Amino acid sequence: MLSKEAPIGVFDSGIGGLTVVREIMRQIPNEKIVYFGDTARVPYGSKSKETVTRFSRQIVHFLESHNVKTIVVACNTASAYALNELEKEIDIPIIGVVKPGAKAAFQTTKNGKIGVIATEATINSKIYSQYIKELSPDMTVIGKACPLFVPLVEEGLLQDPVTDEIARRYLTELIDLDIDTLILGCTHYPLIRSTVAKIMGEKVTLVNPAYETARELKEMLTAKGLLQMEAPGLGSNQYQFYVSDTTDKFIRFANSIIKYGILSAKQVNIEEY
Amino acid sequence: MLSKEAPIGVFDSGIGGLTVVREIMRQIPNEKIVYFGDTARVPYGSKSKETVTRFSRQIVHFLESHNVKTIVVACNTASAYALNELEKEIDIPIIGVVKPGAKAAFQTTKNGKIGVIATEATINSKIYSQYIKELSPDMTVIGKACPLFVPLVEEGLLQDPVTDEIARRYLTELIDLDIDTLILGCTHYPLIRSTVAKIMGEKVTLVNPAYETARELKEMLTAKGLLQMEAPGLGSNQYQFYVSDTTDKFIRFANSIIKYGILSAKQVNIEEY
């Protein structure tokens, strides 16, 4: 029997998933969150399905040990590669960022042409296309891997001529194919939203799965009677952050994404889970 | 008692160490090599000393299980962070790429001003500076982290205006400080040697630790009577490649670096070592 009071588990390959945490904090502010970022083994986006699934399974075991009431896979690559497997293996609800993003794009498009930018792994999985075509087989979905976006964001080049140039190269074929909706299919990409928006032009609507995922999470918790209605008491340790590498760099970066001051995080040997 | 016939163990965070393997193949072609690339957990250059040391220790255990006669740490970050620890823990000789690179730079410089470009981790460790100042405390060593070089190389932008622009930003302060010698302190960097050379100009000599490491390895094996003088027989499986992620992508990339055709590699669950 799951309890309303239990925390929500959220995980990502590293720090990008904090953009999803930020949305959850905004939309359902009474919830407790246990976050895990796999900073020792980041990134996932260039790795195989088998490896991403093995890593994700260890993290799910870790989150289960915290008695979470549900798990949010706040990483597009892990959602694309591991979610279907993990869903079969555990008893609590688990949601990813891909399905909510796909649904929102489907609801947004007018001309039926949707672009997806993401890691190599997410694009290779073709999962956005699969979900969108389940909603309507008439949709055209064009995926484009953008492997340099994550390093550019992590180098802090959010608004920079180099990022503009790389974005132009990646995005030109999507513009040529006349898409009207573009999914930001990696949790780092909302941080360069303005660059992408500038290049795509105003006719193209950008979809941020982080926002949609938090909305779907709220709906799911409400439907199952698991939504926490009251703010947790003082000293209840509402937000807990865990990482697999040391914590100093994570804390610095986390505080640039999340307004809530992240003062501490704990290191976990995730290979033991 | 170590045997001449035993293989040399070489490891790296991923594929970059193959530039060191290439040099070993050239300089001591009779040796057997067992290579391990930690492709599931790559990169190391942005991670902590503790994590890099833990990962490196697992790999050393794996290589020991192959009865290697010596180990080459073909990764600057692992050499910077883990080599001193590992040296104390094992009975066979182990060498890294940093010391040979530092020595070569010391022998090359005329004005005593040496630059080092490398990952964030290698630069933060200050290890190149430490080794060079042990040779002569009068040397000036200026380190510069270049975190975008590895992703740019892996994206294939070896000769590209974007790589030029990023290189110019990283290297300008080294030019301004009038260095005459520059260490390519990451195994990926020899692949953009021509870009770096163009920007630094002809007054600056580039030092490639991969070359120096193979030379030092040969000297060490000779001194210890461990150099293999005869070519291994047919069917002796001279070169063996292991990785922690699946093998397909590794094999593709490996064949672009090494002329010897790499037809196969094996996947290892390195967390178990």
CB B186 within 8 A of CB B45: yes
For residue B55, the chain A residues in CB contact (below 8 A) are: 40
A72, A114, A153, A186: which one is catalytic? A186
pLDDT at A260: 74
Any A CB within 8 A of B41 CB? yes
Omega of the bond leading into B43 within 30 degrees of 0 (cis): yes
The ranges assigned to domains in chain A are 8-96+211-272, 99-209
- Its CATH architecture, for the domain B98-209, is 3-Layer(aba) Sandwich (3.40)
Residues in Cβ contact with A238 at an 8 Å cutoff, skipping those fewer than 6 apart: A32, A33, A232
Q: How confident is the model at residue B234, as a pLDDT?
A: 75
State the CATH architecture for B8-97+211-272.
3-Layer(aba) Sandwich (3.40)
Q: Are B11 and B75 in contact (CB under 8 A)?
A: yes
Contact criterion met (CB < 8 Å) for A147 and B151: yes
Q: Which residues on B lie below 8 Å from A155 (Cβ)? A: 147-148
Residues of B in contact with A50 (CB under 8 A): 245-246
Report DSSP letters for B188-221, one per residue: TGGGGHHHHHHHH-TTSEEE-HHHHHHHHHHHHH
Report residue B214's pLDDT band, with 50, 70 and 90 as the boundaries.
Answer: very high
Q: Which CATH architecture has domain A99-209?
A: 3-Layer(aba) Sandwich (3.40)
A57 to chain B, closest Cα gap in Å: 14
Among residues A64, A88, A73, A94, the alpha carbon closest in space to that of A224 is found at A94
Tokens of B90: 């094992």
For position A188, what pLDDT does the model report? 94
Which among A38, A42, A46 is the top mutation candidate for probing chain B, defined by the most B β-carbons within 10 Å of its own β-carbon? A46
Predicted confidence at residue A1, as pLDDT, reads 75
The model's confidence at residue A262, banded by pLDDT at 50, 70 and 90, is confident
Among this protein's residues, is B186 annotated catalytic?
Answer: yes
Chain A: residue whose CA lies nearest to B120: A155
Per-residue pLDDT, B40: 97
Does the beta-carbon distance from B154 to A147 stay under 8 Å?
A: yes
- Closest residue by Cα to residue A131 from A71, A84, A61: A84
CB-nearest to A271 from B151, B249, B271 is B271
Better-scored residue on pLDDT, A153 or A263: A153
Instruction: Assess A171–B contact: CB distance below 8 Å, yes or no.
Output: no
Q: What does the pLDDT read at residue B261?
A: 76
pTM: 0.94
User: Residue holding tokens 């993401």?
Assistant: A118
Residue type, A170: Y
Note whether ipTM > 0.90 here: yes
Is residue B84's pLDDT more than 80? yes
Residues facing residue B43 across a β-bridge: none
Question: Per-residue pLDDT tens for A82-123?
Answer: 999 999 999 999 999 999 999 999 999 999 999 999 999 999
- The answer to whether the beta carbons of residues B119 and B145 sit under 8 Å apart is yes
Alpha-carbon gap: A43 to the closest alpha carbon of chain B (Å): 8
User: Is A147 at the interface with chain B, CB within 8 A?
Assistant: yes
Active site residue B146: no
Distance in Å, alpha carbon of B118 to nearest chain A alpha carbon: 15
Q: Which two tokens stand for residue B97?
A: 């790429």
Query: Is A41's Cβ below 8 Å from some Cβ in B?
Result: yes
Mean pLDDT of A149-173: 96
Cα distance between residue A16 and residue A215, in whole Å: 18
B77 vs B48: CA distance, rounded Å: 10
Residues of B numbered 232-271 whose beta carbons fall under 8 angstroms of chain A's beta carbons: which are they?
Answer: 244-246, 249, 271
Say if CB B23 and CB B10 are below 8 A apart. Answer: no
Tell me the chain B residues in contact with residue A249 when contact means C-beta distances shorter than 8 Å.
Answer: 48
According to the model, what pLDDT value does residue A168 have?
98
CA distance B26 to A140: 51
Residue A40 with chain B: CB contacts under 8 Å: 41, 47, 51, 55
Whether chain B has a CB inside 8 Å of the CB on A219: the answer is no
Domains A8-96+211-272 and A99-209 belong to one CATH topology:
yes
Chain B within 8 Å of A75 (Cβ-Cβ)? no
Report percent pLDDT > 90 for chain A: 90
Tell me whether residues B39 and A47 touch, CB distance under 8 A: yes
pLDDT tens by residue, B215-258: 999 999 999 999 999 988 777 789 999 999 999 989 988 888 88
pLDDT of amino acid B259: 77
CB-CB under 8 Å, B50 with A39:
no
- The sign of the dihedral angle between the CA atoms of B129, B63, B37, B7 is positive
Instruction: Quick: pLDDT tens for A28-81.
Output: 999 999 999 999 999 999 999 999 999 999 999 999 999 999 999 999 999 999
Task: State how far the alpha carbon of A50 is from the alpha carbons of A94, A97, B249, B264, in Å.
Answer: 19, 19, 13, 18
Q: Does the structural domain A8-96+211-272 have CATH classification 3.40.50.1860?
A: yes
